[in-house]
Structure 1
């Protein structure tokens, strides 16, 4: 078995499983303005049967000690939330007096009077091997200590404090028992990794799952029973946040060697779905697996888990739906697809006409405005631009929609979802019918616009089974279109189809360098509506 070396010191010190009540319940006073400094020395007390009556009842549970000589300690001392000596990122080293268990004098340990907290204490031999560790309050081993971390130290003027610091031998048992996440202290690269899960009921309906995550390495638990955060939108639709954890990228394992084991357990969600039996999915991850999901701090692709979702049944995802997991998103808000518009700083104005007896009326029935917001939104871990388009009739907004779009490294523009707010003719809010979000309730993104369209190309724009399954076919890439704004050449034309609207389709026209310029809607083969780009407004 490998000698598992796990996590960066800063993770070890800061990412604890247990909080310390003593620290929360005591508000540290401000630093004394007195010039007098008090020299603090620490006396290390290794808890054992001979000097700790509380531990005598737990003889078999005490960690085993290694046969070596203590040489130095590493500590963090805080006052309130302020680091005074050392920090989680860089603990402070103090050598022990020769042949003794108390620390040498160092100027960094001379401090003004006040209430302090020893937040961390670890004992090492001369070679740097961890020998002893002060357990955290609330941890199983913390119950053996009279002063678990954080330990209060009250420095008073005129005193020479020499407090005992109880520590336990460190024997590579599960570090959870000491109150920490990982069980060794070695510098290691840490990668953030996220899980997301869906559950499908007996009717094939997708739900965001409520689930727990357990993770271990070579049988040692590093995360236990982390439960997803779930909730409900105002629109009676449900959501779940991904469960994200820090995983060590351990160089002693081969790149493709699986060493991290995970267990995902489906949990009941009251009022949403019930379970007749326990569902558990297990798996393992290698360094390559971790790296494949990591594309910078702001872009981590989720490990997507499906419970009871039959990919071979009626809910089979169509081949024409592009796979977002195969796309790279290095700079997803930098939209360079030539068929997209408007660019930032512009508003496009459109006018829509309902044909009467096949003729275009003199006046438009609606006015549409499209603009790109300054804000962005993260969808499925991908930072996406927000495109706002709103429809007005007789000066009243009937529909106000935010579309979420992101471009991959190949230039494909992805449709990540939308929030659509609907109003009646008097401007009263009706609801958000038509809204959806990729990664929520089984919905998946598709192409808003492909990077290199070709005639005959078919692609799905969205996949929210039974709700939104629109797809498009490229029918031309070199059309010439004339509007009141001019003549546009090499225009892309797509035929957009909503499978839930029988005998209805739309032709959409996109001009390179401008974007969407025209739309024609057909019902039963007859042209019924036309929308034209009629103005480009520069925003001051």
Structure 2
């Protein structure tokens, strides 16, 4: 395969150009020059790097770039026209590339993080034809200075920065250090995965795994993410956080109900949990509708796609439990909690959904979550109820919850993770809530949790 690459460094040039207006001393002006090195056309060099894609015949017409500047890392995302002269290619003047110099300073730091070169499509940006590879990407070895590039600009200067680039193939976008939707902007969504592993005897474990996700219907598609692994731990029970990824909507011409994402999940070792992994892989496809169905009402967070490795997959993954603690803030005292605190939830039967806290039983499913939130009985008190802590009693019965925590995107909720394998019996716990108003008042109540099989 004919290929190109380059093995040289970028250079910065501060120049004054004849007939250009004088540059103010409170700014510095930037221009970028994409550079391909013709030396790699030599047969010996091509033989060494024949994995690189062929070059397009299209003329470079636009640059799509991202940079940050200053102590606050102010971002700039820009598409700018590419011009040429006897010295080569360079980006046209653009007001957004006038970088302000901080007051009292003579320089400002700039970091270029993304740089793509596009063809012309009737006067507008077309396809990506060249890309500057990023550090730690597979193609970074073919350039002397992969992105990010950082340098200081002097006040009143116009700086030309050479950017080493490689010919581009969108089927290999990850090899340059970019994600597919960096190259082709699309509507984005959140997609999460969680996995269980079952031994031959049928015992369920929370799984550790490696996830590959492709744009397409097989591993021959465009890689979106490779070798993604969950955050695992043990805080009394082994747990693995869902792997949550940002995915693009399908290409034009692919219906929302058609498969367009392909995933492979491979079980990996977890020495302290189930030990050495067998050769277990689960693969499948997803449509845009299936991705959207996993979204929560906030439109940002998502339920996970539940994967079973060597398990008889359940037809019912269960559901999350939402418990609301309603407090009569006008009358509550430490002595009348059963008369002034009321529990309701989305799961319990009429008999167990008692308003008396000490008798309330929250029903939960394996591998799901329970959400606690608080509210006042009367809306005009100006007070708020925050669930501050949930913890297991000393004689707490069965260990149903693996941990409790909060998430920044779910304000007002305390969240508990339910263990992955089904057990019978109750877990007895204490719930602590605080009333915030003119004064702060904190109380502790003691409901129960019970597991239902999926």
Per the normalisation by structure 1, the TM-score is: 0.54
Structure 1 position 436 matched with structure 2 position 401: yes
- Given that residues 327 and 340 in structure 2 are in contact (C-alpha distance below 8 angstroms), is that contact kept between their aligned partners in structure 1? no
Q: Which residue is equivalent to 1:507? A: none
Structure 1 position 156 matched with structure 2 position 134: no
CA gap of 1:84–1:93, structure 2 versus 1, over 3 A, is farther
Q: Which residue is equivalent to 1:39? A: 29
1:202, 1:344 → 2: CA distance? 52
CA gap of 1:62–1:49, structure 2 versus 1, over 3 A, is farther
Counterpart pick for 1:123 among 100, 112, 117? 117
Q: Which residue is equivalent to 1:273? A: 274
Structure whose CA Rg is larger: 1
CA gap of 1:75–1:295, structure 2 versus 1, over 3 A, is same
CA gap of 1:175–1:302, structure 2 versus 1, over 3 A, is same
CA gap of 1:226–1:94, structure 2 versus 1, over 3 A, is same
Structure 1 position 247 matched with structure 2 position 247: yes
1:35, 1:372 → 2: CA distance? 67
Structure 1 position 110 matched with structure 2 position 98: yes
Equivalent positions of 1:40-439 (< 5 A) are 40-50=30-40, 58-79=48-69, 82-84=72-74, 86=76, 91-98=77-84, 100-111=88-99, 112=101, 113-127=107-121, 128-129=125-126, 130-156=128-154, 160-182=158-180, 185-218=183-216, 219=220, 220-234=222-236, 237-250=237-250, 251-275=252-276, 277-296=278-297, 297=299, 299-310=301-312, 324=318, 342-343=326-327, 345=329, 371=341, 389=357, 404=370, 421-423=392-394, 433-436=398-401
| Residue 176 (structure 1) shift | 0.9
2:207, 2:289 → 1: CA distance? 26
| Residue 181 (structure 1) shift | 2.2
- Given that residues 400 and 419 in structure 2 are in contact (C-alpha distance below 8 angstroms), is that contact kept between their aligned partners in structure 1? no
Q: Give secondary structure in 1 for the equivalent of 2:291.
A: helix
2:334, 2:36 → 1: CA distance? 77
- Given that residues 188 and 246 in structure 2 are in contact (C-alpha distance below 8 angstroms), is that contact kept between their aligned partners in structure 1? yes
- Given that residues 363 and 450 in structure 2 are in contact (C-alpha distance below 8 angstroms), is that contact kept between their aligned partners in structure 1? no
CA gap of 1:300–1:109, structure 2 versus 1, over 3 A, is closer
Q: Give secondary structure in 2 for the equivalent of 1:176.
A: helix
| Residue 179 (structure 1) shift | 0.3
1:177, 1:63 → 2: CA distance? 11
Q: Give the aligned length.
A: 346
| Residue 215 (structure 1) shift | 0.9
Q: Which residue is equivalent to 1:22? A: none
Task: For structure 1, list consecutive stretches of 5 or more residues without a partner in the other structure.
Answer: 1-33, 336-340, 352-365, 377-386, 392-400, 408-417, 424-429, 444-463, 470-495, 500-540
CA gap of 1:255–1:53, structure 2 versus 1, over 3 A, is same
CA gap of 1:49–1:248, structure 2 versus 1, over 3 A, is same
Task: For structure 2, list consecutive stretches of 5 or more residues without a partner in the other structure.
Answer: 1-23, 102-106, 346-354, 365-369, 374-388, 403-415, 428-448
- Given that residues 196 and 241 in structure 1 are in contact (C-alpha distance below 8 angstroms), is that contact kept between their aligned partners in structure 2? yes
1:277, 1:259 → 2: CA distance? 29
Q: Give secondary structure in 2 for the equivalent of 1:289.
A: helix
1:129-183 CA distance string (max 9 Å, x none): 2221111111111211122111123323575532211111212231111001227
Q: Cα RMSD (Å) of the superposition?
A: 4.3
| Residue 260 (structure 1) shift | 1.0
- Given that residues 43 and 165 in structure 1 are in contact (C-alpha distance below 8 angstroms), is that contact kept between their aligned partners in structure 2? yes
Per the normalisation by structure 2, the TM-score is: 0.63
CA gap of 1:346–1:178, structure 2 versus 1, over 3 A, is farther
Q: Give secondary structure in 1 for the equivalent of 2:53.
A: coil
2:317, 2:451 → 1: CA distance? 20
Q: Give secondary structure in 1 for the equivalent of 2:419.
A: coil
